[in-house]
Structure 1
Amino acid sequence: MAKAGFILPVLFVAGAVALSSVFIVDEREKVLVLQFGQVKQEINTPGLGFKIPLIQDVVRYDDRILGLPTQPIEVTPLDDRRLVVDAFARWRIVNLVDFREAVGAGGTESAQARLDRIINTAIRQVLGSVPSGAVLSEDRTGLMNRIRDLAKAEAASLGVDVIDVRLTRTDLPEQNLAATFARMRAEREREAADEVARGNEAASRVRASADRTVVEVTSEARKQAEVIRGEADAARNGIYAEAFGRDPEFFAFTRSLTAYERSLKEGNSSIVMNPDSDFFTYLRSEQAPVAAPQP
């Protein structure tokens, strides 16, 4: 009985030691086995792993693509127009041994702090070589690729790969916004005034051309009307002359009627004359005088 009681604790301790020597590697992880701080084994595939209990330790690292939002920084492009910029980077551990040697026990947090400085330096270097218009434009793919390439080269010593860098904000500093908006407003108002002035000038030219066209068309129409009226008067006079030549008495009669109409119209001045005047010849007789026969 005493021997059996001694064996059970030994078996329990042996089982515990055996279990502590086995660990599981998740498919989302990479694992380093350390012995007194030195790397003894690197495991990059999921499954079971083994270590020496109490002597070796297991350190786990994320094998997925990680995100890093950088802190906002001020940059000065070529035209000395300060901008506030921040970015979002995606990175991944590619060399676990180099990563451990570079960041030590700090792990992912320490790596992200160092990556933040690397990316900010790359942002300043790239954006400082171009004017602010290129930074504020919608097409910044080329600039972001240059930042990524610089950060990738610097971060290689950490055992990580910078997969992508995206500029998330490019704004003016708060103290410069009011002055910038005022300058933009003044520029737009000046452009609007120029457009209005050009529009008024074009309208004046169109209006002057239209007025000239109206005068020319009206003059031509009046000239044609006078020509037509003169031709009509000539035709009328010819008809009258022919008619009057055939019947002089009819000519005298129509002339008298015209004279009566004009002299007896309401509002004319008073006329005093002898009732026996020849002017009233057709008013005194019921029949027109007999005209002399035509030869």
Structure 2
Amino acid sequence: MNRSLLLLPLLAILIFVGLSSLFIVDEREKALVLRFGRVVQVQEEPGLAFKAPFIDEVVRYSDLILSRDPDPIRVTPEDQRILIVDAFARYRIENVTKFRQAVGAGGQQNAERSLDLVLDDSIREVLGSVTSNDILSVDRVTLMNRIRDRADARAENLGLTIIDVRLKRTDLPQENQTATFARMIAERDEEAADLRARGREAQQAIQAAADRTVVELESDANRQSLIIRGEADAERNRIFADSFGADPEFFEFYRSMEAYGKSLTPGNSTMVLSPDSEFFNYLKSDQGLAASE
């Protein structure tokens, strides 16, 4: 009985020591076993693990993809137009030993401060080598990839892997927006004035070509009309000559009728002539001169 009473405390101590030497690693985390602050074991696989009881300390870190959203920063691009850049990053603790050595006992809080510095330096370096138009453009994938690669190379010393960096917002500072908008308006006005001047120049060229074409067409039309009129007059004279040559009496009659028509017009019907004037031959008789012979 006395022996059993002595074994119970011993058994309890053994159970307590055994439990103190065991720890469980979740699938969402990685663990370090520290002995007097020095890393003696890295446990990255989930499951049951062992450590020295009472001496070793277990420190756990997340194995998930983490996000960091630092405060917006001022960036000066190549064209000296200051921009406010707001970015965020997704990262993961890749090497827990390096991570512990870099951040110490501060853990996640120290890591975020160090990561913010890495992101700020990478953003300033990449965006400072391009113009503000490149930064403000819709297609910024290349810039974000360059920032990610630079940040990832520097974050390796922290035991981190930068998975992605995104630019959420790139704006002008409030004090510069008015001046920038005014300059943009002036630039657009200048472009519009240049386009209008080119339009007027093109209009004048088109108008001059049209006027020249009109003159050429009118000149050619007048030339053609003169040719046709001359040919018609010649044909008329030929027909008259043929007709008058065939019947001289008809020629005399026709000439007299033309003279009567031109002379006896309204307002000019009073004439003083001798009664035996030849002008009235066809008024006296339809035979003209032949009637008096």
CA contact (8 A) 1:91 1:160 kept: yes
Judge conservation of contact 1:248–1:291 (CA < 8 Å) in 2.
no
Q: Provide the rounded CA distance (Å) in 2 between the counterparts of 1:259 and 1:161.
A: 119
Identity of aligned residues (%): 56
Q: CA deviation at 1:67?
A: 2.2
Structure 2 CA distance for aligned equivalents of residues 114 and 157 of structure 1: 10
Q: Which stretch shifts more, 209-218 or 248-257? A: 248-257
Q: CA deviation at 1:167?
A: 2.9
Task: Give the drift of 1:244.
Answer: 0.4
The aligned counterpart of 2:202 is 202
Provide, for residues 192-211 of structure 1, a one-character-per-residue CA deviation record: whole Å limited to 9, x for no partner: 11110111011111101111
The residue that corresponds to 1:288 in the other structure is 287
Post-superposition offset of 1:44: 0.9
Q: State TM-score, norm by structure 1.
A: 0.83
Bigger shift: 164-173 or 195-204? 164-173
In structure 2, the CA distance between the partners of 1:275 and 1:44, relative to structure 1 (3 Å rule), is farther
**What is the rounded CA distance, in whole Å, between the counterparts of 2:6 and 2:249 in structure 1?**
172
How far is 1:54 from its partner?
4.9
- Assess, with a 3 A threshold, how the Cα gap between structure 1 residues 150 and 291 changes in structure 2: closer, same or farther: same
Q: 1:68 maps to what in 2?
A: 68
Equivalents in 1 of 2:51, 2:236: separation in Å?
A: 133
| 2:270 counterpart residue number | 271
Which residue of the partner structure matches residue 151 of structure 1?
A: 151
Q: Secondary structure at the match of 1:27?
A: coil
- Identify unmatched segments of 5+ residues in structure 2: none
**In structure 2, distance between residues paired with 1:109 and 1:284:** 139
Which residue in 2 is equivalent to 1:92? Answer: 92
Q: Is the 8 A contact 2:89 2:166 kept in 1?
A: yes
- Partners of 1:10 and 1:272 lie apart in 2 by 171
TM score, norm. by length of structure 2: 0.84
Q: Deviations over 1:105-131 (max 9, x none)?
A: 332232122101111012223333344
Unaligned stretches of 5+ residues in structure 1: none
Q: Partner of 2:268: helix, strand, or coil?
A: coil
Q: How does 1:193-232 map to 2 (within 5 A)?
A: 193-232=193-232
Q: Which moved more, 1:175-184 or 1:73-82?
A: 73-82
Report the equivalent of 2:238: 238
In the alignment, what sits opposite 1:190?
190
Q: Given the superposition, is the C-alpha separation of residues 262 and 42 from structure 1 closer, same or farther in structure 2, using an over 3 Å criterion?
A: same
Letter aligned with residue 240 of structure 2:
Y
| Superposition deviation, residue 59 in structure 1 | 2.5
Moved more, 21-30 or 197-206: 21-30
Aligned to 1:254: 254
TM-superposition CA deviations, 1:131-153 (whole Å, max 9, x none): 43443344545544443333223
**1:225 is matched by which residue type in structure 2?**
S
Q: 1:258 to 1:27 in 2, by over 3 A?
A: farther
Secondary structure of 2:86 counterpart: strand
Check 1:269–1:72 CA distance in 2 against 1; reply closer, same or farther (3 A cut).
Answer: farther
Summarize the alignment of residues 52-201 of structure 1 with structure 2, pairs less than 5 Å apart: 52=52, 54-201=54-201
- After superposition, the C-alpha distances for 1:20-74 in whole angstroms (9 at most, x for unaligned) are 6544322222112334443332111122223455544432212122222232111
Shift of 1:13: 7.7
Q: CA deviation at 1:243?
A: 0.6
> 2: distance between equivalents of 1:214 and 1:271?
50
Output the CA distance in 2 between the equivalents of 1:201 and 1:120. Answer: 52
Question: Separation in 1 of the partners of 2:24 and 2:287?
Answer: 145
CA distance in 1, matches of 2:218, 2:9: 127
C-alpha displacement of 1:172: 1.6
